[in-house]
Amino acid sequence: MLGAFMDRMKEPATAEEAPAADAASFERFFEAGHARLLRALFVVTGNADEAEELVQEAFLSVWERWDRVSAMEDPTGYLYRTAMNAFRSRLRRAARAARRVIGLAPGADAFAAADERDAIGRALAGLTPRQRAALVLTEMLGYGSEEAGRMLGVKAVTVRVLASQAREAMRKALGDE
């Protein structure tokens, strides 16, 4: 097992080894997809810093595999799967909603701090991270529950349940409009 794992670790070529043409195509890929991924992850995490870190982590990972990813049918889908993997890893490693460290004022959940006027923020604050992730993937990004399930590491039915719970909670929090 360790051998297979280490083989995987040796695969990615460093970005410095990629030809200039590949670097240019990656930069175009980045410019085309960066903002949308960042906004989606912001809605999922409720934390601007964390969203930026996850976006950077995902793009770095894709860049190191760009020679293969660029040849895929859906490089953007791969990017989102990578981002969701990173998100899931964070949830597992440190199940802290906020960091009690000084000097990290933006670290608080932006939705948890939503005031009375921000009904949407308060509605999102009432969702769990997984519910938000399922909602963003299906409603905001338009992925089907099968694909969203692969990204979140759960079955499609679980995605539907999570998204349904999220929609219901949002509906109750915001009222029928």
Partner 1 sequence: MSDLRGVLEKVGRRIEPREDAFDRLERARRRRTRNRKITAGALAAAIAVSGIVGVSVAFLGGEQITPGGQDGRVVALWPEQTMAEIRRTQDAVDAGEESLAWRLDLEATAKRFVEEVLGWGDAIVTIQLFPGDGQGAVAEITTPAAPCPTPAEGEPIDPRCPGRKVEVSLVGLLPPQGVWSVLRVEGDRIRFDPETADGLSVDETVRAHVDLPAGAQALGGGTFFGDGCTNSFSTETIAESGVLRLSIPTGECAVTSGYVFAYVVGPGSAGFDEDPMDAEQLYAPDPFGQRVEVLDLTAMRVNLGPTPDAEATSLPEETPTTAEESPPPDEEAVPDVAEVVCDPSVTQYSPIRVRPQPDGVHIRVTNGLDRQISVMIDDFGSEKVEALGSKERVESIPPGETWLRCYDPENAGPDADPAPFVRVLIEVADPDGLWKSTELECASDTILEGILDYFAGARGVQDPLEAARTLDGILPTDAVELARYPESEPPMVRVVRDGKVVALFEYIPDGHGGWLLSGTESCGDVGIG
Amino acid at position 36, single letter: R
User: 60, 26 in Cβ contact below 8 A?
Assistant: no
Is residue 67 involved in binding partner 1 (CB under 8 A)?
Answer: no
DSSP result, 69-126: HTTSS-HHHHHHHHHHHHHHHHHHH---SS---TT-GGGS-TTTT--TT-HHHHHHHT
Task: Lay out the site mask for partner 1 across 104-143 (x = CB under 8 A, - = otherwise).
Answer: x-----x---------xx--x-----x----xx--xx---
Q: Which is nearer to partner 1, 108 or 140 (CB)?
A: 140
Q: By CB under 8 A, name the one of 16, 19, 105, 116 that touches partner 1.
A: 16
Question: Considering the complex, what minimum distance in angstroms separates the CB of residue 80 from partner 1?
Answer: 9
Q: By CB under 8 A, name the one of 34, 70, 125, 126 that touches partner 1.
A: 34
Other beta carbons within 10 Å of 166? 24
Question: Considering the complex, what minimum distance in angstroms separates the CB of residue 117 from partner 1?
Answer: 14
Among residues 87, 76, 165, the alpha carbon closest in space to that of 126 is found at: 165
Say how many residues touch partner 1, by CB under 8 A.
Answer: 73
Is residue 31 involved in binding partner 1 (CB under 8 A)?
Answer: yes
Task: Lay out the site mask for partner 1 across 75-104 (x = CB under 8 A, - = otherwise).
Answer: ---x--xx--xx-xx--xxx----xxxxxx
Amino acid at position 123, single letter: A
Is residue 148 involved in binding partner 1 (CB under 8 A)?
Answer: no
| Orientation of helix 75-93 relative to helix 20-45, angle to 10° | 50
Within positions 42 to 61, which residues make up the interface with partner 1, using CB under 8 A? 42-43, 48, 51-52, 56-57, 59-61
Question: Considering the complex, what minimum distance in angstroms separates the CB of residue 57 from partner 1?
Answer: 5
CA angle 113, 119, 121 (to 5 degrees): 40
